[in-house]
C-alpha cells in the first residue's frame, strides 16, 4: 500500500500551465474538471507519457521523476496501469493476446494463470479468443481495464474510459475494480468531466480547473457545498443567480441576498466572510425546489414566493418547468406531481426553497474546498 | 539482330532480378527511414522528407548523371569498389542496383511512412505503459498494423524499377544480360523498326503493371483502419 505523490508544473500552451501538488492514497480518487482543465495532461505526466517542466513524482518510496535531480523513469518501467479514453486495445490481437502483452517477462504457464484469474474477475473469460472489434463497448472497457491490471501496476490511471457507457455498466465495472483493489490497495486516479460518475464511483474527489486543483475532499463534500461556480456547474446545478448580500444574520449563519434586477430575496447559508453589499452567486438544484398551487403555510423553508409557469418540457423521466417568479427558475417535478397539481403553462404556483438548498458561491474566486 | 526477334526473356529475367534486389534493399533501408520520418519530432524533418522525395520530380537523366559521377572510377565510391572487386561500378548490374534503389526510394518510403503515421498514437503509448521497449512496440504493434503500407511500398517500388528507363540508360548502358532491362529492350526494338517484338515485350510490361496496380488497390480497399475514433 503506497501513496502516489506528485508536485509538478508543466507548460501546456503559451498561456496555460498545469501546476498541481497531489497525494493520492490507495483507493479510487475521481479527478473532475471541464475539458481543457489539464486533467489529461496530469495523467500523462504521472504515467511518463509527458514530461513536467519541474517537480517530482513518487510512488511510495520510489522516485519516478525529479526535475532537479534529472531523474525521469521511462514509461515502460514505471509500472503504471493506464486505461486510455478510447481504450487503445490492440486491434490485430485477440483479447487474450492483449492481456498477454504486458506479461512478456512471464512464461506461458504463469502468464496464462494470471490472465485466467483477471478474466474471471472482470467477466471476460468467454471473450479471450475474440478480437476487440468483435466484442461490445462494455466488454472492451473490461478488457482494457484487465489488460492494465494483469501486470500488477503500482498505480492505475483512467482517462475517462467509461464515459461512453450507461451509468449502470459504469458502476458495475467500477465495483469490479474496487473488489480487485481491495487486496492490492493501489492508488487509482479516475479522470472524468461528468459529475454523476464521481458521486458513485470514488472514495475521494478532486476538481481541476485552469491547470489548478480547486477542490478536494470526498465526492459528497466537493459536490454538495460548491466553493466555486465551476464545481456547482459540474455538480448539476441548473439555477444560477447573481445577487447582492442584503443582510447577514451572523447568529443564524444565514444571509439574505437580492437577485440582481429583481425584487426576489433568497435566504442562503452565510458565505464565509460575506458582508452586506458583497456580490455572490447563488446556485440551486432544479430538483431541490418545491412547487405548490396554493400559498403554503407552516413550513420551515424560508424562501417562499409566487410565480407563473412559463412552459413545461419532458426531459427523461422528469418534467422541467420554467417558472417566472420575478427571476427565471428551472424546476424539476415528477410526472405524477405534474398531473396531481394540474400544472400547465400559465398556472400560478408558489416556489419553496430551503435555505440550505441555496448554495452561495463566490463568483470570481476559485476557493479551495478543503481549507 | 533478326528482323523480328523472339521474346526478350533475358531482358525480362534481368529486370525481375534487378527489381527483386532493389525491393529487398529498399525494405531494409526504407523501413527505418520511414519510421524516422513518421515519428521524428525534429523541426527540420521535412528537409529529409524532401530529399527522399527528390527522385519523384528529378528527371531520370539528371539523377542518372549524378549517380554515374558518384560511382565512376574517379569517385571515392568507385575507387573503393574497384579495390574491393577489381572492376568499376558504372555499367554493371551492381551500379544499376544502386541507382535504382535511389530512384525508387520514395516509392518505398512514402507508403510505409504514411502507414506508420496512421497507427493510432495511443496504441503506441499503451504498448509503452505495458512495459514494451521501442523495438518491441515497433515489431509487435506498428509493423503489423502498417503491413498494408509495406505491401504497397514493395509493389510500387518493384513496378517502378521494372519500368525505369532513363536512369538505366545513364548508369547501366545497354549490355545484354548485364544491364539491358525490358524497357531498354523495347527501345532497341523500336530503334531497329522491330515493332512486333517491341509490341510483345511492351504487352508483357503492360499486363504486369496492371496486375500490380490491381493487387495494390485491392489491398487498400480491404484495409481496415487501425485508427480508433477520436
> Torsions phi, psi of B175, nearest 5?
-100, 110
Does A118 have pLDDT greater than 80?
yes
Closest of A358, A361, A226, A355 to residue A280, by C-alpha: A361
- Across the strands, what pairs with A267? A256
Per-residue CA distances from A35 to A159, A194, A208, B25 (Å)? 12, 10, 10, 48
Query: What ipTM did this prediction achieve?
Result: 0.77
B4 vs A196: which has the higher pLDDT = A196
Contact A76 B229 (CB under 8 A): no
Sequential DSSP letters for A88-112: ---TTS-HHHHHHHTTTTS-HHHHH
Q: What per-residue confidence (pLDDT) applies to A258?
A: 92
Helix%, strand%, coil% for chain A, nearest 5:
25, 35, 35
Helices (H), A187-346: 195-201, 219-224, 229-234, 335-340
- Across the strands, what pairs with A330? A322
Q: What per-residue confidence (pLDDT) applies to B61?
A: 87
Residue B223 at interface with chain A, using a CB cutoff of 8 Å:
no
SS3 A68: coil
Q: What per-residue confidence (pLDDT) applies to A98?
A: 96
Angle at A77 between CA A73 and CA A79, to 5 degrees: 115
Q: What per-residue confidence (pLDDT) applies to A79?
A: 93
N-terminal to C-terminal alpha carbon distance within chain A = 27
SS3 B34: helix
pLDDT band, very low/low/confident/very high, at A1 (cuts 50, 70, 90): low
Contact B130 A147 (CB under 8 A): yes
Choose among A49, A102, A133: nearest Cβ to B130. A102
Which contiguous run of DSSP H or E holds residue A291? strand A290-292
Q: Residue B209 and residue B155: Cα distance in Å, rounded?
A: 10
- The domain spans of chain B are 27-39+52-220
Per-residue CA distances from B226 to A86, B142, B201 (Å)? 12, 10, 41
Give one word for A29, left, alpha or beta, with left for phi > 0 and alpha for psi -120 to 50: beta
CATH for the stretch A237-361: 2.40.50.100
pLDDT band, very low/low/confident/very high, at B229 (cuts 50, 70, 90): very low
Arithmetic mean of pLDDT, B6-14: 79
Q: How close is the nearest chain A Cα to the Cα of B133, in Å?
A: 7
In a mutagenesis test of the A interface, which of B41, B126, B127 is the best target, namely the one with the most A β-carbons within 10 Å? B126
Which chain A residue shows the shortest CA-CA distance from B141? A90
Q: How close is the nearest chain B Cα to the Cα of A235, in Å?
A: 26
Residue A105 with chain B: CB contacts under 8 Å: 131
pLDDT band, very low/low/confident/very high, at A350 (cuts 50, 70, 90): very high
Give residue ranges of A with CB < 8 Å to any B CB.
Answer: 47-49, 74-82, 84-92, 101-102, 104-105, 133, 147-148, 151
Does B224 have pLDDT greater than 50?
no
Name the DSSP class of A356.
Answer: G
Q: What pLDDT, in 10s, does the model give residues A59-103?
A: 999 999 999 999 999 999 999 999 998 999 999 999 999 999 999
Q: Residue A31 and residue A91: Cα distance in Å, rounded?
A: 29
Q: Give percent of chain B above pLDDT 70.
A: 93
pLDDT band, very low/low/confident/very high, at A371 (cuts 50, 70, 90): very low
Q: How close is the nearest chain A Cα to the Cα of B32, in Å?
A: 22
Residue A80 with chain B: CB contacts under 8 Å: 129
Determine contact, residues A71/A86, Cβ cutoff 8 Å. Answer: no
Choose among B129, B140, B230: nearest Cβ to A75. B129
Residue A76 with chain B: CB contacts under 8 Å: 128-133
Residue B123 at interface with chain A, using a CB cutoff of 8 Å:
yes
Per-residue CA distances from A200 to A168, A174, A287, A369 (Å)? 10, 9, 18, 19
- The domain spans of chain A are 4-233, 237-361
Between helix A137-149 and helix A167-184 the angle, nearest 10°, is 10
Per-residue CA distances from A3 to A329, A346, B164 (Å)? 45, 58, 65
Arithmetic mean of pLDDT, A323-348: 90
Q: CATH number of A4-233: 3.40.50.880, 3.40.1110.10, 3.40.50.300, 1.10.600.10?
A: 3.40.50.300
Q: Give percent of chain A above pLDDT 90.
A: 45
Residue A47 with chain B: CB contacts under 8 Å: 129
Arithmetic mean of pLDDT, A10-24: 88
Q: What per-residue confidence (pLDDT) applies to A228?
A: 63
CATH 3.30.420.250 holds for B27-39+52-220: no
Q: What pLDDT, in 10s, does the model give residues A129-148?
A: 999 999 988 899 999 999 99
Q: In what order do the strands lie in the sheet with A16-24?
A: A16-24, A4-13, A54-59, A62-66, A71-72
Residue B132 with chain A: CB contacts under 8 Å: 76, 101-102, 104
B124 vs B7: which has the higher pLDDT = B124
Determine contact, residues B176/B1, Cβ cutoff 8 Å. Answer: no
Q: Residue A80 and residue A156: Cα distance in Å, rounded?
A: 6
SS3 A137: helix
Contact A88 B123 (CB under 8 A): yes
Which residue matches cell numbers 429583481?
Answer: A262
SS3 A133: helix
Q: Residue A290 and residue A288: Cα distance in Å, rounded?
A: 7
Contacts of B198 (CB under 8 A, 6+ apart): B186, B189, B190
DSSP E strand stretches across A33-101: 54-59, 62-66, 71-72, 80-83
Q: Residue B130 and residue B38: Cα distance in Å, rounded?
A: 22
Arithmetic mean of pLDDT, A209-214: 84
> Torsions phi, psi of A326, nearest 5?
85, -45
Q: What per-residue confidence (pLDDT) applies to B3?
A: 40
Contact A75 B125 (CB under 8 A): yes
Q: Residue A337 and residue A319: Cα distance in Å, rounded?
A: 9
Pairs of CB atoms within 8 A across A/B: 69
Amino acid at each position: 500500500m503506497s501513496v502516489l505523490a506528485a508536485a509538478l508544473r508543466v507548460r501546456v500552451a503559451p498561456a496555460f500551465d498545469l501546476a498541481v501538488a497531489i497525494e493520492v492514497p490507495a483507493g479510487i480518487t475521481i479527478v473532475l474538471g471541464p475539458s481543457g482543465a489539464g486533467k489529461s495532461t496530469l495523467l500523462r505526466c504521472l504515467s511518463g507519457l509527458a514530461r513536467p517542466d519541474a517537480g517530482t513524482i513518487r510512488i511510495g518510496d520510489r522516485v519516478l521523476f525529479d526535475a532537479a535531480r534529472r531523474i525521469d523513469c521511462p514509461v515502460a518501467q514505471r509500472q503504471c496501469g493506464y486505461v486510455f479514453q478510447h481504450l487503445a486495445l490492440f486491434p490485430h490481437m485477440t483479447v487474450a493476446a492483449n492481456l498477454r502483452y504486458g506479461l512478456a517477462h512471464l512464461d506461458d504457464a504463469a502468464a496464462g494463470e494470471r490472465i485466467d484469474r483477471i478474466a474471471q474477475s472482470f467477466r471476460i473469460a468467454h471473450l479471450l479468443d475474440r478480437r476487440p472489434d468483435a466484442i461490445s463497448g462494455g466488454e472492451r472497457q473490461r478488457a482494457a481495464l484487465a489488460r492494465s491490471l494483469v501486470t500488477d501496476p503500482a498505480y492505475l490511471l483512467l482517462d475517462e474510459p467509461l464515459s461512453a457507457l450507461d451509468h449502470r455498466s459504469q458502476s458495475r465495472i467500477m465495483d469490479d475494480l474496487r473488489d480487485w483493489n481491495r487486496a492490492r490497495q493501489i492508488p487509482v486516479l479516475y479522470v472524468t468531466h461528468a459529475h454523476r460518475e464521481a458521486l458513485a464511483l470514488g472514495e475521494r474527489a478532486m476538481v481541476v480547473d485552469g491547470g489548478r486543483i480547486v477542490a478536494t475532499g470526498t465526492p459528497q463534500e466537493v459536490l454538495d457545498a460548491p466553493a466555486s461556480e465551476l464545481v456547482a456547474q459540474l455538480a448539476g446545478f441548473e439555477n444560477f443567480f447573481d445577487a447582492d448580500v442584503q443582510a447577514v444574520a451572523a447568529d443564524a449563519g444565514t444571509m439574505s441576498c437580492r437577485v440582481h434586477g429583481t425584487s426576489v430575496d433568497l435566504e442562503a447559508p452565510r458565505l464565509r466572510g460575506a458582508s452586506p453589499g458583497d456580490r455572490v452567486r447563488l446556485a440551486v438544484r432544479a430538483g431541490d425546489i418545491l412547487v405548490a398551487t396554493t400559498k403554503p403555510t407552516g413550513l420551515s423553508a424560508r424562501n417562499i414566493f409566487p410565480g407563473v409557469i412559463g412552459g413545461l418540457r419532458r426531459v427523461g423521466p422528469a418534467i422541467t418547468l420554467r417558472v417566472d417568479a420575478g427571476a427565471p427558475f428551472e424546476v424539476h417535478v415528477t410526472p405524477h406531481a405534474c398531473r396531481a397539481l394540474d400544472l400547465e403553462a400559465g398556472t400560478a404556483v408558489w416556489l419553496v426553497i430551503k435555505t440550505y438548498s441555496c448554495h452561495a458561491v463566490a463568483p470570481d474566486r476559485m476557493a479551495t474546498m478543503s481549507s | 539482330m533478326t528482323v523480328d526477334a523472339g521474346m526478350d526473356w533475358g531482358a525480362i529475367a534481368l529486370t525481375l532480378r534487378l527489381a527483386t534486389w532493389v525491393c529487398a534493399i529498399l525494405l531494409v533501408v526504407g523501413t527505418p527511414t520511414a519510421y524516422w520520418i513518421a515519428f521524428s519530432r525534429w523541426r527540420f524533418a521535412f528537409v529529409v522528407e524532401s530529399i527522399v522525395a527528390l527522385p519523384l520530380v528529378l528527371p531520370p537523366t539528371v539523377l542518372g548523371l549524378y549517380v554515374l559521377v558518384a560511382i565512376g572510377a574517379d569517385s571515392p565510391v568507385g575507387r573503393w569498389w574497384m579495390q574491393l572487386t577489381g572492376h568499376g561500378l558504372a555499367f554493371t548490374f551492381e551500379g544499376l542496383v544502386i541507382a535504382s534503389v535511389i530512384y525508387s526510394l520514395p516509392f518505398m518510403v512514402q507508403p510505409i511512412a504514411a502507414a506508420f503515421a496512421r497507427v493510432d498514437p495511443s496504441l503506441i503509448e499503451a504498448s509503452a505503459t505495458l512495459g514494451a521497449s521501442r523495438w518491441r512496440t515497433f515489431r509487435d504493434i506498428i509493423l503489423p498494423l502498417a503491413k498494408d503500407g509495406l505491401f504497397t511500398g514493395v509493389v510500387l517500388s518493384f513496378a517502378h524499377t521494372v519500368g525505369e528507363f532513363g536512369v538505366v540508360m545513364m548508369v547501366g548502358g545497354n549490355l545484354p544480360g548485364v544491364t539491358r532491362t525490358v524497357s531498354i529492350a523495347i527501345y532497341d526494338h523500336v530503334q531497329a523498326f522491330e515493332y512486333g517484338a517491341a509490341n510483345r515485350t511492351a504487352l508483357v510490361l503492360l499486363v504486369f503493371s496492371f496486375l500490380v496496380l490491381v493487387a495494390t488497390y485491392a489491398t487498400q480497399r480491404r484495409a481496415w483502419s487501425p485508427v480508433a475514433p477520436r
